[in-house]
Amino acid sequence: MKKKEMRSIMLKQLTEISDEEYQQLSKEIHKHLFSFSTWNKANTVAVTVSRGREVDTFPIIKQAWTDKKTVVVPKCEPATNTMEFRSITSFDQLENVFYGLKEPILSETSAVKKSLIDLILVPGICFDKNGYRIGYGGGYYDRYLMDYKNDTVSLALSSQLINGVPIEAHDVPVSTLITEHGVMK
């Protein structure tokens, strides 16, 4: 099966999860993340603002601020399929852009160098146990992670784990997956 088909099937399955179950599973994943040593030692955390049935990142961002971490969120450039991360200190510094994404307002935020980011929470739709993922198809994260040297984690419901993701030469796996069942290196 091709990535596009897998993406479509998983997105449909995710919409079938009840709000209550989604919230409960997200809370379990948050607990595992917040007790994970990589999270605790990270000073600067990159995180996408969640939408739909992605693991809820609003509590993660709030916890990072409580923990005095620097929170950076991606600003995408669709013309080149590239992105940069920009520091936010308030949800008011976000605006709605294409596909319903919330991104930093350029005039209210500043870019953060890749080398200063300790941990990137990498979004996705499907994941395999080797850390490969199927994202939304733009390749933004694979491009960004090509020369990224620090920790990468993906947060996923266990139902998003599949036996194998079709791998292409440009795909970059994450080092750790966290589901409601725990941390997988």
Question: For 66, phi and psi rounded to 5 degrees?
Answer: -60, -40
- Residue 99 confidence (pLDDT) above 90: no
Residue 17 domain flag: no
Please provide the average confidence, as pLDDT, over all residues in the chain. Answer: 96
Question: Is 31 within the bounds of a domain?
Answer: no
Pairwise pLDDT comparison (1 vs 131), residue with the higher score: 131
Residue 120 located in a structural domain: yes
- For 21, other C-beta atoms within 10 Å of its C-beta total 12
Q: Which residue has the tokens 């669709």?
A: 78
Residue 107 structural domain = 3-12+38-174
22 found inside a domain: no
Those residues with Cβ within 8 angstroms of residue 156's Cβ, 6 or more apart along the chain or in another chain:
29, 55, 124, 127, 177, 178, 179
- Where would I find the H helices in 16-67? 19-34, 37-41, 58-66
What are 82's strand-pairing partners? Answer: 77
> Is there a domain that residue 30 lies in?
no
Judged against a pLDDT cut of 90, whether residue 100 lies above it is answered with no
Report the number of distinct structural domains present in the chain: 1
The CATH code of the domain that includes 45 is 3.40.50.10420
Confidence of residue 185 (pLDDT cuts 50, 70, 90): confident
pLDDT, tens only, 107-135: 999 999 999 999 999 999 999 999 999 99
In a domain, 19, yes or no: no
pLDDT at 55: 97
pLDDT at residue 162 greater than cutoff 90: yes
pLDDT digits (tens, 9 = 90+) for 11-24: 999 999 999 999 99
**Least confident range of 19-23, 37-41, 156-160, 166-170:** 166-170
Q: Determine the pLDDT at residue 137.
A: 86
